[in-house]
């Protein structure tokens, strides 16, 4: 049964507890292909992706663990397990990279476009029964991690999107009534 866009927008949740099932590269590719219809000024398409799915999952998990700021070897085992648990269960990772244009207007337009693309991807994944979570961990800008992903000078990783399957939905949080956010001009 096809759901309306309004329903998908209202029902989508950020999934933080995945069940460990892998997400196929073909599903991630199809989602990104459709998401790339996001509006972008001048049709610059200011994005590129590093995707870790299927055979790339263990390698990216090891890379993330190695590149985090924490000193893992000095951490108690139970704390280490807690800190790295989020690396183990997503079924795919997508790192979204955008150029950092030196012109402020273009940089903001590009960031806005890539944000729209990310929202599109989250909605498209949800429609397929795949949960997502947009994360920006502190270590995402660490030189060692940027080097591991071959992120060039003048580029920025704006998101680590986790994709995966889940067994339970988080509860919806209350939203402020929109009337409290609108001021009509005139």
List binding-site positions for FMN.
12-14, 41, 134-136
- Kindly state the tokens that stand for 103: 């012109």
Binding-site positions read: 12-14, 41, 134-136
Output the CA torsion 145→68→92→11 (10° steps).
-120
How many CB atoms lie under 10 A from the CB of residue 55? 9
Element (H, E) at 155: strand 155-164
Q: Quick check: 126 and 164 in contact, CB under 8 A?
A: no
Q: Is 38 helix (H, G, I), strand (E, B) or coil?
A: coil
């Amino acid at each position: 049964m096809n759901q309306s866009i309004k329903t998908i927008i209202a029902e989508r949740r950020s999934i933080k507890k995945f069940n460990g099932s892998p997400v196929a590269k073909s599903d991630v590719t199809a989602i990104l292909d459709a998401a790339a219809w996001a509006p972008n000024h001048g049709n610059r398409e200011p994005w590129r992706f590093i995707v870790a799915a299927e055979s790339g999952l263990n390698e990216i998990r090891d890379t993330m663990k190695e590149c985090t700021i924490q000193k893992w070897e000095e951490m108690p085992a139970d704390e280490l397990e807690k800190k790295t648990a989020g690396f183990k269960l997503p079924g795919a990772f997508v790192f979204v990279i955008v150029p950092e244009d030196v012109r402020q207007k273009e940089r903001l337009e590009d960031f806005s476009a890539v944000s729209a693309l990310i929202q599109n991807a989250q909605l498209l994944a949800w429609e397929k029964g795949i949960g997502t979570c947009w994360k920006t961990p502190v270590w995402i800008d660490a030189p060692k991690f940027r080097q591991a992903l071959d992120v060039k000078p003048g580029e920025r990783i704006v998101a680590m999107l986790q994709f995966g399957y889940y067994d339970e939905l988080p509860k919806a949080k209350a939203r402020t009534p929109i009337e409290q956010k609108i001021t009509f001009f005139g």
